[in-house]
Chains A and B, each alone.
Chain A
Amino acid sequence: MGRRVLVTGLSTFWGGRVAKALEADAEVDVIVGLDTKPPRIELERTEFVRADQSYSILSRIVKAAQIDTILHTFLVVDSTRMSGRALHEINVIGTMNLLAAAGAEGSPVRQVVVKSSTLVYGATHRDPQWFREETPRTQSPRTRVERSLNEVEGYLRDFAEDNPHVTITLLRFSNVLGPDIVTPITKALGLPLVPMILGYDPMMQFVHEEDVVRSILFTMDRKVSGIYNVAGDGRMPWSEVITMAGKRPVYLPPIRTAWAAAPFSRLGIVDLPDEVLALLRYGRGADNRRLKHAGFRYGYTTAGAVDAFVKNQRLRSTVGETRPGYQYERDVENFFRHSPAVVRDQ
């Protein structure tokens, strides 16, 4: 019997991609995608449920669809996308409800994969060059997104203790780059002059967006349990990233940096929240060897991810958006999935 998978945040970048990749996997029988908004990419057999992550709905879905695997991709790590309150609601309350539903009496769930971020390590001058999974952060979290991710990981630890029969995989991704993803870093690199803090040239590390999806599927396939950093090999200075992007830097002052960056955000040019400014000052490195030992092979190094991003930027600047737009139509999707008129299993 194949896997029955629940994907959270189906309409988000990661949820959609993970569901798409799962559809190609013959050993996955059922894919249920959860979100409040309809998916933004075309999916063939994923069942979309429009619902928020409230406990009663989640526990009913898990039971009704006999979900055995939860891929929790819906953790917001980009704090520029929503207010702090909404972020807390999604990350902390959403995860709490999800784990409660997964751990309910008689729950069929046997694996939970959570997509967290290396933001949980912070970025300060006291950091080691490479964070291993068990290295503690050197300063307590200061930003809302970091605090919320730390809380999420705390809930996951409790869940692991209470549910020893469930395989729990916590993946911490470093900054993602690639052809399609949009983050404060990609927005900054898209500007004619790329912000840099005067006097600091931090060592950056990136992971390619394909490696993100592949690592989630890999840990699901192999039922790998534990905490893993997911990050490309090597680190490179921010100035070198800017050079590869064919751009020139613009300098922010080393003191009162947040204050100097504020007008950029107000003018809608680029939003650099505190956790991104800390990264642009001190950088961050995550040791990726534990996942490699588990058998995962990366497709890209840090520089490879930057290169893929830059190449697609060039393509986009020539021909515009390359992905066709997609509009979710509930009736059409339901027709293809459930109408007896559609011939299946040719």
Chain B
Amino acid sequence: MAAGERVTRIDKPGALVHLPREGDRDEALADPRVGDVDEWGRSESIRELTRRLYDPMYRHWFRAEWDGLDKIPTTGGALLVANHAGAIPSDAPAIMHGIETELGRPVYGLAEHLFKALPVVGTMWARAGGVAADPDNAYRLLREQGQLALVFPEGTKATGKLFSERYQLRRFGRGGFVEIAMRAGVPIVPIAVVGAEESMPIVWKSGALAKLVGVPYAPLTANMLLFGPLGLLLYFPAKFRLKVLDPVHFDVPPDQPRYSKSRIMEEAENIRQRMQETLYDMLRERKSVWFG
């Protein structure tokens, strides 16, 4: 018998449990889905719609320009790492949109669990390709499914910083992103983004209010000063430049339970420094915030 499995047969009519017979079992299971939402909650049709709506913003408002898109692998998993900015970050949609339209492959955005708790926002975020930044999730995406995942190692420390601190990279967490890439056996592709900082700058923030509401930061943005409540939605038309850095490959075996913490911190710091220097270079070249 196949694989030594004993098959119990109940052939009588009206039997409660119809145990499958041999031969039936190797067929692929029927999966009569009617929607296109994948196991992560991402829906290609909703992404498609989002891309169509967002494209004018991407092309004509931010006038996003890429440098080195060819360094992003067209097959297999890779962890994309970028700097983060703007009270409501404008960099994540731009990066995901750019790669999906140019390379034609999906990008999953890893972010705070907090998103999932919010009604409407949480669901829309998941449908648009957002996934909770959990090591298990990242491993499954990168190693088992060979997808592209985007992560911002600075987290909310970056999006919550004041305008005066723009383009100063924060601490890269505890280097968790490096450990994930090592375990998944995928390269890290750093991306430096210029423009997002000026699209929604924070001029002042209230620690007390943030604590009260239970959010990471409660900002007052220049957009709010200018447009009132509408400023929550309206970005300034800063020119976006995105530069892809050389991918970092780690020559360590994947699937290890632990990796040397010092090696992880060293790699994380190297990546951070390269990104910081690239940002400074890009700013040296930039003649105007609005025209690039």
Contacts and interface: CB of A to CB of B under 8 A. Distances in A.
**Bound together:** yes
Interface of A: 16-17, 20-21, 24-25, 27, 41, 125-130, 132, 135, 180, 197-201, 203, 210, 213-214, 217-218, 221-222, 233-237, 239-240, 243-244, 254, 282, 285, 295, 297-301, 303-304, 306-307, 323-324
A299 B17 CA distance: 12
Contacts of B18: 210
Interface of B: 3-6, 8-10, 14-20, 25, 29-35, 37, 39-41, 113-123, 126, 131-132, 134, 136-137, 140
Given A203-B39, A237-B37, A237-B41, A125 B32 contact: no
Main secondary structure of the interface of B (DSSP, over half): loop
A254 B41 contact: no
A52 B192 CA distance: 68
Given A20-B16, A129-B140, A233-B29, A201 B34 contact: no
A184 to B, nearest CB: 22
B36 to A, nearest CB: 9
B258 to A, nearest CB: 16
B35 A301 contact: no
Given A24-B10, A130-B140, A237-B37, A210 B17 contact: yes
Contacts of B32: 244, 303-304, 306-307
Contacts of B16: 16-17, 20-21, 41, 180
A21 B35 contact: no
Contacts of A132: 136
Given A135-B136, A244-B34, A301 B123 contact: no
A16 B137 CA distance: 39
Contact of A125 (B19, B30, B41, B117): B117
24 contacts: A17-B17, A125-B113, A125-B115, A126-B113, A128-B137, A129-B39, A129-B40, A130-B136, A130-B137, A197-B119, A199-B119, A203-B39, A203-B41, A221-B5, A233-B31, A234-B33, A237-B35, A240-B34, A295-B5, A297-B5, A299-B29, A300-B30, A303-B32, A304-B29
Contacts of A21: 8, 10, 16-17, 19
B136 A324 contact: no
A303 B39 contact: no
A256 to B, nearest CB: 13
Contact of B17 (A20, A233, A234, A301): A20
A128 B119 contact: no
B39 A235 contact: yes
Contacts of B4: 295
B29 A301 contact: yes
A136 B34 CA distance: 33
Contacts of B113: 125-126
